[in-house]
């Protein structure tokens, strides 16, 4: 390698390091800006656009809030949320009490189908099982229980039962992409097999990626999304 080539390589490496440092600072500032997250014990590591969150927070809600905050930052390509939930003494509860509160929360939520969701709690970790017709119902069930005191984590194993054909699903997704000004429909493609949808293509930001994924989930009959989107840096 010539001297000029070595100098160019060094400049590119320095530029990449500067970009990573700026991105990490933006992530830290976004977390600090978010009133839902106590960043005192939260660490941020960054490599190749992938953010890793480490440390601990006092509730599951704060863990998910931290992840949502990071997703808003331009340049973030992926997130590894390794935050540990450490409940304070007053928030530690018996699994039976948590399960009872979860059942009541689900019953009180008009978006959750009655008598179709089962709750399992072990050591503060809550699992949802059953089936629904729409993705928004599955999300509503998770949201109904994630704020409950004493919850360390939520696993949403609720199944979505498809009621439409793959061709109908694909057509509705294509129309949804066209309606959203934030998306370049020509840069995206989907493959539908049963209720499973695989999306391919490139987007400019994590927010644009979320917009595409949300558009897919809004289509009736979608039970699983396989995300092969690439976020351009």
pLDDT tens for each residue of 70-97? 988 988 888 999 999 888 776 678 999 9
11 pLDDT above the threshold of 50: no
Shared domain for 194 and 139, answered yes or no, is no
At 46, list the tokens: 């960054």
Tell which of 85, 118, 152 closes a domain: 85
- The pLDDT score that the predictor gives to residue 200 is 93
Shared domain for 80 and 105, answered yes or no, is no
- The pLDDT score that the predictor gives to residue 206 is 83
Distance separating alpha carbons of residues 197 and 193, to the nearest angstrom: 6
Mean pLDDT of the residues in the chain = 86
Contacts of residue 131, Cβ cutoff 8 Å, sequence gap at least 6: 116, 158, 159, 160, 161
Shared domain for 172 and 151, answered yes or no, is no
Q: Express each pLDDT in 51-62 by its tens digit.
A: 999 999 988 889
**pTM exceeding 0.85:** no
* CATH number for position 173: 3.30.300.130
How many domains are there within the chain? 3
Distances (CA, A) of 66 to 60, 93, 106, 180, 211: 10, 23, 25, 27, 19
Shared domain for 176 and 208, answered yes or no, is yes
Full domain range(s) for residue 19: 3-85
Phi and psi angles of residue 24, each rounded to the nearest 5 degrees, phi first: -60, -40
* CATH number for position 44: 3.30.1340.30
The single residue listed with the structure tokens 């984590």 is: 153
Shared domain for 153 and 199, answered yes or no, is no
Structure-model confidence comparison of residues 217 and 10, the more confident one = 217
Shared domain for 81 and 145, answered yes or no, is no
Tell which of 85, 116, 134 closes a domain: 85
Q: Express each pLDDT in 179-205 by its tens digit.
A: 887 888 888 999 999 888 999 998 888
């Amino acid at each position: 390698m010539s001297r000029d080539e070595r100098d160019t390589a060094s400049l590119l490496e320095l530029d990449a390091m500067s970009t990573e440092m700026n991105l990490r600072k933006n992530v830290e500032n976004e977390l600090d800006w978010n009133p839902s997250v106590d960043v005192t014990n939260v660490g941020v590591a960054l490599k190749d656009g992938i953010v890793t969150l480490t440390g601990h927070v006092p509730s599951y809600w704060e863990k998910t809030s931290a992840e949502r905050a990071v997703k808003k930052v331009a340049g973030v390509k992926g997130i590894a949320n390794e935050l540990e939930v450490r409940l304070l003494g007053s928030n530690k509860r018996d699994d039976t009490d948590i399960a009872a509160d979860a059942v009541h929360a689900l019953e009180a939520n008009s978006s959750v189908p009655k008598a179709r969701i089962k709750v399992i709690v072990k050591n503060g970790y809550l699992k949802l099982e059953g089936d629904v017709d729409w993705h928004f119902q599955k999300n509503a069930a998770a949201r109904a229980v994630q704020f409950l005191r004493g919850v360390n984590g939520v696993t949403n194993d609720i199944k979505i039962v498809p009621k439409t054909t793959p061709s109908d699903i694909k057509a509705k997704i294509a129309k949804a992409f066209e309606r959203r000004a934030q998306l370049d429909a020509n840069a995206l493609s989907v493959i539908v097999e049963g209720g499973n949808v695989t999306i391919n293509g490139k987007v400019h930001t994590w927010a644009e990626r979320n917009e595409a994924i949300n558009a897919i989930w809004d289509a009736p009959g979608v039970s699983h999304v396989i995300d092969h989107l690439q976020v351009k840096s």
